[in-house]
Amino acid sequence: SLKKTIEEIQKEESVKAKTRGKNIEGFEMVEEKREEVEMTASGLSWVVMAVVVGILALLFVGWKRTRV
């Protein structure tokens, strides 16, 4: 009976290890997705800044033209 319980414990441990492995894989996927999101967010902020600077430049040039 002792041998049987040891086998059962080993089975439980292997099942736990498998689920733990799945959890780790899922966590890594989440990490990768988060990095992608951060990259796109920084890209968007650059685009927004470029647009704002472009608009300000156009306004400045237009304002100078009307003054002269």
User: What is the predicted pLDDT for the residue at 24?
Assistant: 66
pTM (two decimals) = 0.38
pLDDT higher at 67 or 62: 62
Q: For the segment 12-66, what is each residue's pLDDT rounded down to a tens digit? A: 888 887 777 676 677 776 777 777 777 677 778 888 889 999 999 999 888 777 7
- Classify residue 8 by its DSSP letter: H
* CB contact burial 22-36 (16+ within 10 A = b; e otherwise): eeeeeeeeeeeeeee
Helix and strand numbers (H, E) in the chain are 1, 0
